[in-house]
Amino acid sequence: MNGAQMIIRALRDHGVDHIFGYPGGAILPVYDSLFGDNRVNHILVRHEQAAVHAAEGYARSTGKVGCALVTSGPGATNCVTGLTDALMDSVPVICFSGQVPTHLIGTDAFQEADTSGITRACTKHNYLPTSVEDLPRILHEAFHVASSGRPGPVLVDLPKDVQQKKALYHGPEHYRGQERYPRRRPDPAAVEEALDLLATAKKPIVYFGGGVINAGTTASKRLQELVRYLGVPTTSTLMGLGAYPAGDPLYLGMVGMHGSYESNLALHGCDLILCVGARFDDRVTGDLSAFSPNSRKIHIDIDPANINKTVHVDVALIADAGDALTALLDGVKKRRLKIAAKPLANWWKQINQWRERKCFSYEQAKKGAIKPQHAIARLDALTRGKDVYFTSEVGQHQMWAAQLLSFDKPNRWMTSGGLGTMGYGLPAAIGVQVAHPEALVIDVAGEASILMNIQELSTAAQHHLGVKVFIVNNEWMGMVRQWQELVYEGRYSQSYTASLPDFVQLAESFGATGLRVDAVEDLDDTITKMIETPGTVIVDCRVIREENCYPMIPAGAAHNHVLLGDEKGKRRGSTDSGLSLV
Amino acid sequence: MAKKTIGKKAARKKTTAKKASGKSANKSANKSANKSANKSANKSANKRTRKTSTKNIAKKTAKKTGKNASKKSTKKAVRRKSGTNSKDVVVYAASKDGAAEQRHCIAVLVRNEAGVLARVVGLFSGRGYNIESLTVSEVHTGRKLSRINIVTRGTPRTLEQICAQLERLVPVLSVADLTLIGASVERETALLRVIGSGTHRLESLRIADMFRARVVDSGHEHLIFEVTGDSGKVDAFIRLMEPIGLTEISRTGIVALNRGAGI
């Protein structure tokens, strides 16, 4: 078996049935071994960045490893954004890149790049096998590294001669027991300490993130059981949406810079944070010196490096979120642990007062121009109950989607959280649609972001992937414009996109359906039509241009200085040091 | 995969106070400190809870004087964990956390494969950590293992992060903060080229004698000295040689082992 065949064989051995890629000189042997093989379905993208994003969408909606296949040089460098995105958001992705033959490495050969050097900082690990005998071990290790512990991207750089040479292939079972990341059980003593803290808490809150989703659907179930058993408020990060059902009364909505008023104030005012699979990101904590000043903190994370990285915690449980939650749940039940009733009731009273503020409210006129929030809210209402997956690009529309879409299940929300990659949504939607051909997959997009990977419409057309692209079109890079309005005194430098394409015609030119709506009266009909039309559909939803995304915690401010939409006049802007935080 | 050599986090939290109390204290309290450190490290090996506030430790450290690195006080430090007043937890960048920077020596055992040094060094530059000294060499040919000794400087929080981040690297088998584990022996070798004749030459030989430096190459106009010792000794030797014809220096960087029967 030659190296190229080993790669395809390893994909099959690890249950990978789809791979996203783009051929080129240095990866031709692998493409040759793909030829006529219908067990691994290859999706031909139009840009390598999209191959990695699609693999991310595939991975995040299934929990499996997503794979990309690209050529050397430009093929590999185009993957860097996708790999960094996967690293930031802990997505298990493997990128196989071609490389010039070993004897040409270092000679500035055609389409040579130091791929392993370039991607060293943007992968969890990368490999450059120099002999085909090493290849099987490396391939299986790559799958293990990508999917175990804190998942992440792995790149395998494949010199062309290694793809062509022959050697003996061993299956994954041959390498069992040599794993780098054995599953780590929560330390019982730490669990007891966490329970002690829970037992004395008066104003607790459960703050969870993408770690719960990465830990699988049982982790989400355990989270729900624990929260309901204790009857405590809970809030999610951008990455955690869906791990706890959005409609539940114990759920306070998303936390962070554009999170809900009640969740931010609750996180600020609580006396105990149980953090599950989240990493106290700066978009969540705001001003660290004022972050949740009076609380003790329990941190469940699979990555020891996340403990005490930005926020000091009192108890750390280093384990898979599902295992840790199960241990806590068992302990809570065994101890018959309850949060003291009276303080908890007072805590809820306080939270409900914050809720009364209705921080996501907006006023939509009955006729005429559409408010972007309303567009998303209707999208949510009209897709409820359906088998629907959402992806998003990055910007205002992303935050509105996170605020207003109601996710009831994990793995239903794919967005670029850590890296904030514009152009993520469409290729990710393609990946999701490949994994779930029957499902409704909607990319909530902005007109600026969508143009960053618009070429993928061609991929969708070729592979008959009926993704729906819902463009919230305000003609501005909305989030940039918002910051310029609030922080830079309205100096709108380069944030207006002139010469936008006609999205309807653009859709048609790619063989998709284009719809346009600019009046609220037609909004529901257009959304329904989008859902019902088979094949790829683009909706150009023209919305009010000047709308800002609230609530907003100005950069560098504490949670209790959250800015609300209806108090725009009394602007409490960012501090100088805050501005440097982006 | 090789078992982590020590429960380093456990060791760290229990011994920071002790270790930070000064080199001289370490030396004199060497044996007992080392013993207890080892004990606590073993006891709670693999125990990954970090309970004590680094800040607390730092504060305690500051209060502490010289030699009272006793078991009692370390226990106290551990017990205080639940009394952490979150108000004094001020964090963002490591330099802002208020704690003083410390110099630590970290030993990293790695699989000796292509690019492993670049990964370690890239981690330091990418995350903005310091490297004061770096040595790397294969230490187990059969198993293809290399040891990297890194001397770095940072607040306790940063140092903890450095070790945790190093442990995430796939070819890294174990990370040990030698300065936290106990007293360690640090050595460095330097070669110095000294040009000169007459009294300068005699003076350089006299100084070399004081420092137990050896002459490894000589000619009518030059001498090359080899000196070994901790960095302070090498620095001092270089300072004395500078005015009498020192023209070139080559230093190995620091290699270190913790004292005692091993970890």
Task: Give yes or no for residue B26 having a pLDDT over 50.
Answer: no
Same domain for A165 and A99:
yes
Question: What residue of A is the nearest CA neighbor of B80?
Answer: A314
**A272 interaction partners in chain B (CB closer than 8 Å):** none
Segment A443-465 mean pLDDT? 97
Chain B residues within 8 angstroms (CB to CB) of chain A: 1, 9, 46-51, 53-55, 81-82, 84, 86-87, 89-92, 114-115, 118-119, 122, 126, 157, 160-161, 164-165, 167-170
> Can you tell me whether residue B80 is helix, strand or coil?
helix
Distances (CA, A) of A49 to A71, A428, B11, B71: 12, 11, 44, 56
If you average pLDDT over every residue of chain B, what do you get?
74
Contact A121 B53 (CB under 8 A): no
Is residue A160 among the annotated active site residues? yes
For residue A146, what is the nearest residue in chain B, using CA coordinates? B170
Q: What is the pLDDT of residue A287?
A: 86
Q: Which residues of A108-134 are buried (b: 16+ CB within 10 A; e: fewer)?
A: ebebbbebbebbbbbbbbbbbbeebeb
pLDDT of residue A183: 75
Residues 6+ apart with CB under 8 A from A494: none
pLDDT tens string B29-52: 444 444 444 444 444 434 433 443
Q: Which amino acid is at A199?
A: A
- Mutation site for B-interface testing, chosen from A115, A178, A281, A312 by largest number of B Cβ within 10 Å: A312
Higher per-residue pLDDT: A451 or B85: A451
Q: What does the pLDDT look like over A319-356, one tens digit per residue?
A: 999 999 999 999 999 999 999 999 999 999 999 999 99
Per-residue pLDDT for B70 more than 90? no
pLDDT at B64: 41
The 10s digit of each residue's pLDDT in A496-523 is 999 999 999 999 999 999 999 999 999 9
* B49/A316 CB distance under 8 A: yes
At A204, which helix (H) or strand (E)? strand A204-208
Q: Is the dihedral of CA A406, A457, A37, A71 positive or negative?
A: negative
DSSP alpha helix (H) spans, chain B: 8-20, 23-28, 30-43, 54-63, 71-79, 116-126, 156-168, 178-181, 199-210, 231-241
Q: Measured between alpha carbons, how far is A573 from A431 in angstroms, rounded to an integer?
A: 40
Contact between A298 and A274 (Cβ < 8 Å): yes
- Minimal CA separation from B43 to chain A, in Å: 13
Output the six-digit token pair for A422. 């514009």
CA distance A308 to A292: 15
Q: Is the pTM of this model over 0.90?
A: no
Please tell me the distance from the alpha carbon of residue B174 to that of residue B166, in angstroms, as a whole number: 9
Average pLDDT, chain A: 94
- The answer to whether residue A548 is domain-embedded is no
Residue A384, token pair as written in the block: 């409820």
Domain assignment present for residue A573? The answer is: no
Nearest CA in chain A to B85: A294
Instruction: Classify residue A182: in a domain, yes or no.
Output: no
**Burial class of B4 by CB neighbour count within 10 A (0 to 12, 13 to 18, 19+):** middle
Output the pLDDT for position B1.
Answer: 41
Instruction: Tell which of A303, A327, A355 closes a domain.
Output: A355
List, for residues A27-44, the tens digit of each pLDDT value: 999 999 999 888 999 999
First to last CA, chain B: 17
Q: Indicate which residue of A254, A422, A479, A530 is catalytic.
A: A479
Which of B47, B82, B115 faces A116 most closely, judged by CB atoms? B115
Range from B66-75, B179-188, B219-228 that averages highest in pLDDT: B219-228
* The predicted structure's pLDDT at residue B82: 37
| Statement to judge: residues A343 and A472 lie in one domain | no
Quick one: which of B169, B178, B179, B121 has its CA closest to B1?
Answer: B169
Phi, psi of A573 (to 5 degrees): -75, -165
The answer to whether the CB atoms of A307 and B157 lie below 8 A apart is no
Sequence-distant (6+) residues with CB within 8 A of A136 are A6, A10, A167, A168, A169, A170, A174, A175
**Residue A581, pLDDT score:** 59
pLDDT band at B195 (very low <50, low <70, confident <90, very high): very high
Query: What's the pLDDT at A576?
Result: 61
What pLDDT does residue B30 have? 42
Cβ-based contacts of B54 with chain A (< 8 Å): 308, 312
- Do both A222 and A320 map to the same domain? yes
Asked if B1's CB is within 8 angstroms of A315's CB, the reply is no
Is there a catalytic annotation at residue A48? yes
Question: With an 8 Å Cβ cutoff, are A314 and B1 in contact?
Answer: no
What pLDDT, on a 0 to 100 scale, did the predictor assign at position B74?
Answer: 39
Tell me which chain A residues have a C-beta less than 8 angstroms from the C-beta of B46. Answer: 187
Higher pLDDT, B69 or A268: A268
| pLDDT tens figures, B123-158 | 999 999 999 999 999 998 888 999 999 999 999 999
What is the layout of strands, in order, in the sheet containing A513-517? A413-414, A388-392, A440-446, A468-473, A537-542, A513-517
Q: Fill in the amino acid letter for A350.
A: Q
- A195-206: average pLDDT: 97
Q: Beta strand pairing status for A204-208 and A272-276? A: parallel
- Identify the domain boundary among A145, A175, A205: A175
Q: Which residue of B has its CA nearest to A125?
A: B170
- Check B165 against A305: CB less than 8 A apart: yes
Same domain, A195 and A169: no
CATH code: domain of residue A477: 3.40.50.970
CA dist B101 and B151 (Å) reads 13
Chain position carrying tokens 């329970």: A195
Using CA coordinates, name the residue in chain B closest to A176. Answer: B1
End-to-end CA distance of chain A: 52
Smallest Cβ–Cβ distance between B119 and the set A120, A190, A303 belongs to: A120
Q: Give, to the nearest 10 degrees, the angle between helix A321-335 and helix A188-200.
A: 60
Who among A145, A178, A189 is closest to B47 (CB)? A189
Catalytic residue check, A163 = no
Q: How far is CA A195 from CA A37, B83, B192, in A?
A: 53, 16, 61
| Chain B CB contacts of A197 below 8 Å | 82
The conformation of residue A477, written as its DSSP 8-state character, comes to: -
- Clarify whether residues A113 and A46 are in a common domain: yes
The reply to whether A337 and A376 lie within a common domain is no
Each residue's pLDDT tens digit, A137-152: 999 999 999 999 999 9
In this structure, are strands B246-251 and B172-177 parallel, antiparallel, or unpaired? unpaired
CATH number at residue A206: 3.40.50.1220
Q: Does A556 map to a domain? A: no
Tell whether the model's pLDDT for residue B84 goes beyond 50.
no
Residues 6+ away with beta carbon under 8 Å from A135:
A3, A6, A7, A129, A162, A167
The reply to whether A499 falls in a domain is yes
- Out of A329, A355, A381, a domain closes at A355
Q: Is residue A76 part of a domain?
A: yes
CB contact under 8 A, A310 and B92: yes
- The reply to whether A479 belongs to the active site is yes
Range list of β-strands (E), B87-161: 102-111, 133-140, 145-154
pLDDT of B96 > 80? The answer is no
Total number of domains constituting chain A: 3
Q: What pLDDT shows up at residue A136?
A: 96
Q: Is A433 left (phi over 0), alpha (psi -120 to 50) or beta?
A: alpha
Output the pLDDT for position B33: 41
Range of weakest confidence among A42-51, A151-160, A179-188: A179-188
Is A493 among the domain residues? yes
User: Which residues 6+ apart lie within 8 Å of A342 measured at CB?
Assistant: none
- Residue A255 sits in the same domain as residue A380: no
Answer whether B50 sits within 8 Å of A316, measured CB to CB: yes
By three-state DSSP, how is residue B217 classified? Answer: strand
Give the model's pLDDT for residue B56. 42
Q: Is the pLDDT of residue A178 over 80?
A: no
A229 lies in the same domain as A320 = yes
A→B contacts (Cβ < 8 Å), by residue, are 116-117, 120-121, 124-125, 128, 130, 145, 178-180, 182, 184, 187, 189-190, 193, 196-197, 288-289, 292-297, 303-305, 307-318
- Amino acid found at A230: L
CB-based contact A392:A415 (threshold 8 Å): yes
CB A257 within 8 A of CB A283: yes
CB pairs under 8 A between A and B: 95
Residues of chain B with pLDDT > 70, as a percent, come to 62
CB contact under 8 A, B91 and A125: no
Residues A238 and A162 both lie in one domain:
no
Q: What is the ipTM of this complex?
A: 0.90
Interface contact flag, A304 B9, Cβ < 8 Å: yes
Phi-psi region of A348 (alpha: psi -120 to 50; beta: other; left: phi over 0): alpha
Contact, A260 vs A266, CB < 8 A? Answer: no
Q: DSSP labels for A511-550?
A: T-EEEEE-SHHHHHHHHHHHHHS-S-EEEEEEB-TT----
Same domain, A24 and A164: yes
The CB density around residue B151, as the number of other CB atoms within 10 Å, is 22
Q: Are residues A171 and A193 in the same domain?
A: no
Shared domain check, A261 and A123: no
For residue B85, pLDDT over 60 is answered with: no
Interface test with A, best of B12, B168, B174 (most A CBs within 10 A): B168
* Domain that residue A347 falls in: 188-355
Task: Give the 3-state secondary structure of A348-369.
Answer: HHHHHHHHCCCCCCCCCCCCCC
* Residue A366 placed within a domain: no
Cross-chain Cβ contact B91/A120 below 8 Å: no
Inter-chain residue contact A318 with B55, CB threshold 8 Å: no
Best of B43, B48, B79, B119 to substitute, by most chain A Cβ atoms within 10 angstroms, is B48
Share of chain A above pLDDT 90, in %: 90
| Predicted confidence (pLDDT) at residue B19 exceeds the cutoff of 60 | no
Whether residue B67 has pLDDT greater than 50: no
Question: Does B115 sit within 8 Å of A312, measured CB to CB?
Answer: no
Domains present along chain B, CATH in parentheses: 8-79+98-182 (3.30.70.260), 185-258 (3.30.70.1150)
